Amino acid sequence: RHVFFLNSFLKVFLCPAARCQFVMSRLAVVCGGSRGIGRAVSRLLAERGCRLVVVSRNQEAAGATVASLHGADHMALSCDVSKEQEVQKTFQTIQKTCGNICYLVNAAGISRDALLLRAGPEDMLAVLHTNLLGSMLTCRAALRSMLHTQGAAIVNIGSVVGVKGNVGQCVYSASKAGLRGFTRSLAKEVSSRNVRVNLLCPGFIRTDMTAALQEDAVRSVPLGRFGEPEEVAQAVLFLLQSPYITGQELVVDGGLQLLM
């Protein structure tokens, strides 16, 4: 019995990975955490005992989210995920101040909907740079520390239109389809290091992004309503905490995809 207790002591207090798992709470970075889906994810992860770093361009809005989180030791950082140098600096600050990242959620996103014939190159680049390049840059910057963390996992937020396409959303759906390929490839690249990468594809969710949509969009949803950000957050948590799921996509859309 003494040998058993000695072994447990050594595992928990001397092995760095075990010490991280049992003694410290998990560090989660949520990009786009100031509003909408990212804010709901931040709140749920904080309720489940994670330390949060909430990232968005607007520092004040990220700070307001942090102020509303359960528990202490959370942090708000301002960063435009489409700018490489800002991303590098932000993740260096996170590493220095908070340590190794366990969870990364990429919820920063924008839409500039227009028929392709009317879409300008500036809007096209803004959407691709934020939704696709932004997630690539944050994953690359976070991975360096995630490789040293037990149970590390990434969830990228895609969209049902990245799978099915939609009129007026050629560029937006291309950015989300790109994120699909990126997620699957990265999952293959880092699986041997025990980092999992999954994609979550929401349908219509009630946030600032969908505020301008007509209520008749609801009629296209089999469940007859828009989803709530908290309902997406539940699914993100499931993917983050499922140790045998990687390279997958989970659709949270009230059945919308069935009719597309």
Distance CA 69, CA 35 (A): 13
For residue 32, state whether it binds ligand NDP (rule: CB under 6 A). yes
Residues 6+ away with beta carbon under 8 Å from 157: 32, 37, 105, 106, 107, 109, 199, 200, 201, 202, 232, 236
Given the residues 91, 172, 182, 226, the one annotated as active site: 172
Exactly one of 42, 56, 100, 173 binds ligand NDP (CB under 6 A); that residue is: 56
User: Between residues 159 and 198, which has the closer beta carbon with respect to ligand NDP?
Assistant: 159
Phi-psi region of 51 (alpha: psi -120 to 50; beta: other; left: phi over 0): beta
Which residues from 74-133 bind ligand NDP, rule CB under 6 A?
79-82, 107-110, 130-131
Exactly one of 8, 58, 185, 234 binds ligand NDP (CB under 6 A); that residue is: 58
Exactly one of 21, 48, 61, 93 binds ligand NDP (CB under 6 A); that residue is: 61
Contacts 24+ apart (CB under 8 A), 254-258: 254/203, 254/204, 254/221, 254/222, 254/223, 254/224, 254/225, 254/226, 254/227, 255/221, 255/222, 255/223, 256/160, 256/203, 256/204, 256/220, 256/221, 256/222, 257/160, 257/163, 257/164, 257/203, 258/222
244 is a catalytic site residue = no
User: Between residues 34 and 149, which has the closer beta carbon with respect to ligand NDP?
Assistant: 34
User: Between residues 109 and 178, which has the closer beta carbon with respect to ligand NDP?
Assistant: 109
For residue 64, state whether it binds ligand NDP (rule: CB under 6 A). no
For residue 159, state whether it binds ligand NDP (rule: CB under 6 A). yes
Q: At what angle do helices 59-67 and 36-47 cross, to 10 degrees?
A: 30
Binding piece for ligand NDP, criterion CB under 6 A, among 9-17, 57-65, 163-171, 181-189:
57-65
Binding piece for ligand NDP, criterion CB under 6 A, among 11-19, 36-44, 93-101, 186-194:
36-44
Pairing of strands 153-157, 103-106: parallel
For residue 254, state whether it binds ligand NDP (rule: CB under 6 A). no
Residue ranges in contact with ligand NDP by CB under 6 A: 31-32, 34-38, 56-58, 61, 79-82, 107-110, 130-131, 134, 157, 159, 202, 204-205, 207-210
Catalytic residues: 172
